[in-house]
Amino acid sequence: MNKKVFILFPDGVGLRNFAFTNFKEIGESIGFSITYWNNTIFPIKEDLGYQELKITSTRINPKTPVLSHARKRVELALSQKRTNDEVYSTYRFPLKWNSIKDFLKSSFVSYHERFNVTQKRWQQLMDQMYAAERSTSRYQEVRKQLMEHQPDLVFCTTQRATQAIAPILAAQDLGIKTACWIYSWDNLPKGMSTIETDYYFVWSELMKQQLLEYYPKTKPDQIFVTGTPQFEPHYDPDILLSRKQFCDEHGLDVDTRYICFSGDDQTTSPLDQYYLEDTAIAVRKLRAEGRNLAIIYRKVPVDFSGRYEQILKEYQDVITAVDPLWRPMGDQWNQVMPTKEDFALLVNTCYHSELVVNICSSMVFDFVIHGKPTIYPNYEQPQLTKGIRDIGQNYEYVHFRSMPDREKSVVWAYDRSDIYKGIKGVLDGELNPVPITRQWYEIVNKPELPEKASERIWQGINEILN
């Protein structure tokens, strides 16, 4: 009889890795029965035709967010204490003190961060969070679903979501094996894990080492190093469009060479629009020198701030916006869902651009797969005032220490004139960080056959169940 696996989507971030790649087809081809256990508003059965079981109740215990916040702060304080490294304090968001409710929550978090920085207290906070979730009607609903369908394994597609806690606890309480995908390359040092599972799947040996360091209860034989499915579409030649077709679809000129500016979210890069403007000024200058250049602007899918509008209007002679194909399915940022079509759009944007300008995201790896370099701006904007976050601290984060050679892994722009020099240097062949960027990519992702990540995940699941 086929082994039954529940793929749990506590939120929409896992859709790209586990619904829009060939992940399901690969699992079925080796004999697994797969059900998508869906906690999101994305209609998996309706849109993709996959077997789906909906979780209808999304109400977590009111105590859970504040317990999780305290747990995270204690975790970061533990890391700082252990390493004597100030970087962990930069992962904290400011506490809110605006109302009585905010005051009480922040006081609770602050007390634990100050007086309870021990592994024992961290575990007690986790246990309190788990007890809170076990007390909900949501826990009863997911437990009932598991008893009815009796899967052999629940595979959670992200470790970050508090929405994952009740389904994972229900599975564990029923003796069902659980596994978890560590969602992003930067998540482990940031204290973003809200669940504990029997097994973990990570991108790389580096992430395996981090998992063992930050979560000392974890044992090496619980961890599978597989690479990540998020880069698999870049290796599929059938996705690529001809230059003419790509340009025709997006109102671009076949003979123009395009620089991609990949936007970032407001938290990471609050003044991102001005880096787009600096890139546009550089491109105008290069055009004045006789180069046929323009910019493809790809916004971060969850940004609805309107902060780029003035720049797009003012520089429409050099910027064309090619928006991600994500679908808003509600009023909140976390209700904007990715689509399978956007994977193809991203692949073609990388393929048909000369390089990317971006503030510190993993887009550097999407582009290097196609042999394209990245320019990372790393300077303050004059609009930076008190209370606005400087992008420079992003590059000090732990995950950027994985660069094999910091100065050569990307083209750095330490002031706005460096964007012009960087673009010119790349186009003239005088600057080429790609060989070092590739080494970096092979550190953060499994270097052998990166296009086979989904297969390796299924091999790991097979090993767990046998």
Which tens digit of pLDDT belongs to each residue from 57-105? 989 999 999 999 999 999 999 999 999 999 999 999 889 999 999 999 9
Say which CATH architecture domain 233-444 belongs to.
Answer: 3-Layer(aba) Sandwich (3.40)
A 10 A CB-CB count for 56 gives: 9
Rounded to whole angstroms, the Cα distance separating 19 from 72 reads 29
Residue 258: half-sphere exposure toward Cβ, Cα within 13 Å: 26
Rounded to whole angstroms, the Cα distance separating 334 from 63 reads 21
Tell me the CATH number of domain 3-60+136-228+450-465, given options 3.40.50.2000, 3.40.50.620, 3.40.980.10, 3.30.70.20: 3.40.50.2000
Rounded to whole angstroms, the Cα distance separating 325 from 312 reads 19
Query: Measured at the alpha carbon of residue 328, what is the angle toward residues 299 and 15, in degrees to the nearest 5?
Result: 85
- Return the pLDDT at 326: 84
pLDDT tens digits, 141-160: 999 999 999 999 999 999 99
Rounded to whole angstroms, the Cα distance separating 122 from 125 reads 5
Q: Where are the alpha helices (DSSP H) in 260-372?
A: 272-288, 309-314, 340-351, 363-368
Rounded to whole angstroms, the Cα distance separating 115 from 346 reads 46
Please tell me whether residue 313 adopts helix, strand or coil conformation. Answer: helix
- Return the pLDDT at 414: 96
Q: In this structure, are residues 361 and 272 in contact, taking their beta carbons and an 8 Å threshold?
A: no
- Return the pLDDT at 333: 59
Its sign, for the CA torsion 224, 227, 229, 230, is positive
- Return the pLDDT at 303: 82
Backbone angles phi, psi at 321, to 5 degrees: -80, 125
Average confidence (pLDDT) over 433-462 = 97
Q: In this structure, are residues 229 and 443 in contact, taking their beta carbons and an 8 Å threshold?
A: no
- Return the pLDDT at 385: 73
Rounded to whole angstroms, the Cα distance separating 139 from 133 reads 7
Q: What is the β-pairing status of strands 327-328 and 336-337?
A: antiparallel
Backbone angles phi, psi at 25, to 5 degrees: -60, -40
H-helix or E-strand spanning residue 32: strand 32-38
Q: Could you give the percent of the chain with pLDDT greater than 70?
A: 98
Query: Measured at the alpha carbon of residue 109, what is the angle toward residues 107 and 114, in degrees to the nearest 5?
Result: 90
Q: How many residues does the chain have?
A: 466
Residues spanned by CATH 3.40.50.2000 within the chain?
Answer: 3-60+136-228+450-465, 233-444
- Return the pLDDT at 334: 63
pLDDT tens digits, 363-387: 999 999 999 999 999 999 988 777 6
> Which region among 36-45, 201-210, 334-343, 416-425 has the lowest average model confidence (pLDDT)?
334-343
Q: Which two tokens stand for residue 268?
A: 């990471």
pLDDT tens digits, 223-261: 999 999 999 999 999 999 999 999 999 999 999 999 999
pLDDT tens digits, 435-448: 999 999 999 999 99
Rounded to whole angstroms, the Cα distance separating 464 from 176 reads 12
Average confidence (pLDDT) over 438-460 = 97
H-helix or E-strand spanning residue 66: helix 63-83
Q: Which two tokens stand for residue 176?
A: 């069902």
pTM of full prediction above 0.75: yes
- Please report, as a single letter, which amino acid is at residue 221: D
Average confidence (pLDDT) over 18-33 = 95
Q: In this structure, are residues 109 and 73 in contact, taking their beta carbons and an 8 Å threshold?
A: yes
